[in-house]
Amino acid sequence: MRIDLHTHSSASDGTDTPAELVAAARAAGLDVIALTDHDTTAGWEPAAAALPPGLTLVPGAEISCVTAEPAGRPIPLHVLAYLFDPREEAFRAERGRLQESRLTRARRIVELLEADGLPVSWDRVRELAGSAGAVGRPHIGRALVESGAAGSVPEAFSRYLYTGSPYYVRKAETDVLAAVRLVRAAGGVPVFAHPLARRRGQVVSDVVIAEMADAGLAGLEVDHPDHDPADRAHLRGLAAELGLFVTGSSDYHGSNKAVPLGANLTAPAAYEALVAQAGGARPVAV
């Protein structure tokens, strides 16, 4: 069983449409793929409608969250939510708030870039985001690549779009403990995405992870492209201590990132534990 539990489509900041994504997943020899677009479920239906035989789809989302270390600055972090009821009102409203904020914030980033003479327009960013339920910095990055301001999306990030850049604008984020509870209340299963992805900025301490476990966290995403072997070993130990299952994934974004589908995988036993805890939606197979 080849199981990849974290991917993005054009419903957020991936480059494959949901239909292309499920086809690519089957072609890559995967048996199970989770669709986890940022703050939106817009890809669920088109992915399910295009599902090839032999592939199981786990509907999910990756929620933009924030926490405060004791006496520290707020730290942005991501919570993966699987198999929740998309109609449950409290969580649905929160996703709506996050999507709305993504739009106004992306517009403001483009204004700041333009004011500095960089070749990027809001119209083009909107076009690139297309029907995406969640516009993100990678859409702005693609516009900067098109106009020659950067050679690639990762380069657009390291030059202009990184967190803390003069052009960076914060978006709304959900308090991480509230997010864990919202996901559970919607029948879903919350997993902490790439807990030690240091490349993206400051990471949280084990104390915060323990608090998340107390709030209802189910798992830790251990095998992720942004984790080195020492971080993986540490997280595996912590998961065992806290009674959490561990997952693995690619965090595939199509051509916006270099990582291929199936770059890391989840063990079947962990996948079974996840599905056993879910009460809001079921995995989809034809």
197-256 positions binding ligand AMP, by CB under 6 A? 253, 256
- Choose among Zn ion, ligand AMP, Fe ion, none what residue 227 binds, the Cβ cut-off being 5 to 8 Å by kind: none
6-25 positions binding Zn ion, by CB under 5 A? 8, 13
- Cα 205 → chain centroid: 20
By CB under 5 A, which span of 65-73, 74-82, 134-142, 154-162 interacts with Fe ion?
74-82
- Residue at 5: amino acid letter: L
Q: What are 214's two structure tokens?
A: 């107390």
Q: Applying CB under 5 A, which of residues 94, 221, 231, 251 lies at the interface with Fe ion?
A: 251
Question: How many angstroms separate the CA atoms of 114 and 22, rounded?
Answer: 37
Q: Applying CB under 6 A, which of residues 9, 10, 13, 16 lies at the interface with ligand AMP?
A: 13
Question: How many angstroms separate the CA atoms of 204 and 75, rounded?
Answer: 7
Q: What are 243's two structure tokens?
A: 């009674």
Residues contacting residue 148 through CB under 8 Å, at least 6 positions apart? 119
151-180 positions binding ligand AMP, by CB under 6 A? 153-154, 157
Half-sphere exposure of 120 (CA within 13 A, CB side): 31
Q: Applying CB under 5 A, which of residues 78, 137, 224, 227 lies at the interface with Fe ion?
A: 78
Q: Is 143 in the site for ligand AMP (CB under 6 A)?
A: no
Alpha helices in 88-242 (DSSP H): 89-115, 122-129, 137-146, 153-156, 176-185, 206-215, 229-242
- Choose among ligand AMP, Fe ion, Zn ion, none what residue 223 binds, the Cβ cut-off being 5 to 8 Å by kind: none
Q: Which is nearer to Fe ion, 4 or 62 (CB)?
A: 62
CB 214, min distance to Zn ion, A: 28
Q: Which is nearer to ligand AMP, 227 or 257 (CB)?
A: 257
- Choose among ligand AMP, Zn ion, Fe ion, none what residue 133 binds, the Cβ cut-off being 5 to 8 Å by kind: none
CB-CB contact of 245 with 219 (8 Å): yes
- Residue at 98: amino acid letter: L
Q: Which is nearer to Zn ion, 14 or 188 (CB)?
A: 14
Total site size for ligand AMP, rule CB under 6 A: 11
DSSP 52: P
Residue nearest to Zn ion as judged by C-beta position: 13
Q: Which is nearer to ligand AMP, 37 or 223 (CB)?
A: 37
Question: What length is written for the chain?
Answer: 286
Q: Which is nearer to Zn ion, 63 or 239 (CB)?
A: 63
Which residues on neighbouring strands pair with residue 38, listed in sequence order? 62
Question: How many angstroms separate the CA atoms of 110 and 85, rounded?
Answer: 34
CB 157, min distance to Zn ion, A: 11
Q: What are 116's two structure tokens?
A: 């500095």
Residues that bind Fe ion in the complex, under the rule CB under 5 A: 62, 78, 193, 251
Residues that bind ligand AMP in the complex, under the rule CB under 6 A: 13, 38, 136-138, 153-154, 157, 253, 256-257
